Amino acid sequence: MAAANRITNLDSVRGVATLGILVMNAVSFGLVDAAYFNLDAGGSDTWLDWVVGVAGEIFVDQKTMALFSMLFGAGIVLFADRAEVKGKGPTVLSLWRNTLLLLIGLIHGLLWEGDILFVYAICSPVLLAMRKLRPKILLGAGTSLVLSSALLAVITQPFVPSDGTGLGTYWIPGGELGDAVGLFLVSDFFLRALGMMLIGVGLYRLDVMQGGRDPQFYRRLILWGLGIGLPIAAGGVWWQWSSDFSNSIAVIGEAPNTIATIPIALAYLGLITLWNQRAETALHRRVRAVGRMALTNYLMQTVFGIIVLRVLLDRGELGRTGIAVFVLAVWALQLLWSEPWLKRFRFGPFEWLWRAATYGRFSPLRR
């Protein structure tokens, strides 16, 4: 495929990931903290709420963050490679760029506790140091980190008393979070993020992320990814459900979903790539535009979520079905506004500011 098409594929994957990550983030905006991990902790008042919640756990939870992380890893390599070609000192410039991202993440974290940009910025030096390793090493290291998070869940569970002491807001509304579970949550966040970022770098080096492999490759990726991943993810939800969301599997019950994340995320990459290779439609252009403005759209999702689900409405007022309607409304808004914006301007507003701070000068914004 031509280089332009490969970049288009990255835009499409990034667009889908940006929209998809809102599905789980909106649960955090609109429900109590424990409801993010425990379907029985809040927001599941009707059978439709349960359908929405279970579907989110199987098809979305961790998977869209994985896509987002893979894209961020590929983006670091793309930026560093281009800077190197231009002789601009790729390591120093990339570190400065991600220091700025860390500041953006810190500010974003003041608005909402679930920010991921801070984590990406912290992990970026590791990616810069490893980006020229062989793809097999990158893929192996990334997979090992993600699977080590599942292993950590197994190790952590015995430290949780049967009465749930220490599970805190991770699993029980209003509870106190213990050291063991707190350490697991922080480690899990970083291990999964860095692992998927390294996988993204490896796939970029193999021309997979860009859509440069033949269609049959992506069909096999879809078949194997969904065939392996969906039964594991569904089995994890069934395990939690059949135990009546018992404290005894509160942490270890997340392990199947973590294991399933890599194959399902790869399958989604294959699906998006095949869709991107089809004849261009208005939807293609709109999804790619969302991807080109991923930072702006990600931050605005938080603004919308906090205003609507925490200020205009009381947190917990809507169930999971109502939150799904909110997600669809934000999707529609971002699909509608991103393309017209980019027809008039070269960058999204936050992308433009980030770029200006990176290079120490303002680029023309209007086309």
Which pLDDT score is estimated for 176? Answer: 87
Rounded to an integer, the average pLDDT of 48-74 is: 96
Average pLDDT of the residues of the chain: 94
Q: Looking at beta carbons, which pairs linking 277-281 to residues 24 or more positions away fall under 8 Å?
A: 277/5, 277/9, 277/211, 277/215
Name the band, by pLDDT with cuts 50, 70 and 90, for residue 15.
Answer: very high
Q: Measure the CA–CA gap between 94 and 92, rounded to whole angstroms.
A: 5
**Cα gap 334→329, rounded to integer Å:** 9
CA atoms within 13 A on the CB side of 101: 23
User: Is the predicted pLDDT of residue 2 greater than 60, yes or no?
Assistant: no
Sequence spans of domains, the chain: 3-359
Give pLDDT, residue 367.
86
pLDDT digit string, tens, across residues 198-213: 999 999 999 999 999 9
**Residue 4: pLDDT over 70:** no
Percent of the chain with pLDDT over 90: 90
Instruction: For the beta carbon of residue 325, count every other beta carbon within 10 angstroms.
Output: 10
Averaged pLDDT for residues 336-356: 97
Residue 305, SS3 per DSSP? helix
Helix (H) or strand (E) holding 11: helix 3-30
Task: Dihedral sign for Cα 348, 354, 86, 18, please.
Answer: negative
Could you give the percent of the chain with pLDDT greater than 70?
98
> Does 6 score more than 60 pLDDT?
no
Query: Which whole number is the average pLDDT over 20-35?
Result: 96
Average pLDDT rounded to a whole number, residues 141-162: 96
Residues 320-338, mean pLDDT to the nearest whole number: 98
Among 331, 215, 313, 341, CA closest to 273: 215
Q: Per DSSP, what are the bridge partners of residue 366? A: 345
Partners of 167 in beta bridges: 177
Structure confidence at residue 207 (pLDDT): 95
pLDDT at 33: 93
* pLDDT tens column, 108-129: 999 999 999 999 999 999 999 9
> Burial of 187 by CB count in 10 Å (0-12 exposed, 13-18 middle, 19+ buried)?
middle
What distance in Å separates the CA atoms of residue 56 and residue 63, rounded to the nearest whole number? 10
**Cα separation, 121 vs 47, whole angstroms:** 40
Query: How remote is the C-alpha of 285 from its chain's centroid?
Result: 21
Average pLDDT of 14-30?
97
- pTM above threshold 0.85: yes
Q: How many helices (H) and strands (E) does the chain have?
A: 13, 0
pLDDT, residue 1, reads 37
Is pLDDT of 177 > 70? yes
The packing angle between helices 255-276 and 135-156, to 10°, is: 150
Lowest mean pLDDT among 67-76, 160-169, 187-196: 160-169
* Neighbour count for residue 361 (Cβ, 10 Å): 8
Q: What is the pLDDT of residues 221-258, one digit of tens each?
A: 999 999 999 999 999 999 999 999 999 999 999 999 99
State the pLDDT at residue 163: 87
Predicted pLDDT of residue 28: 96
pLDDT at position 138: 97
Count Cβ neighbours within 10 Å for each residue of 335-355 and write b for 16 or more, e otherwise.
bebbbebbeebebbebbbbbb
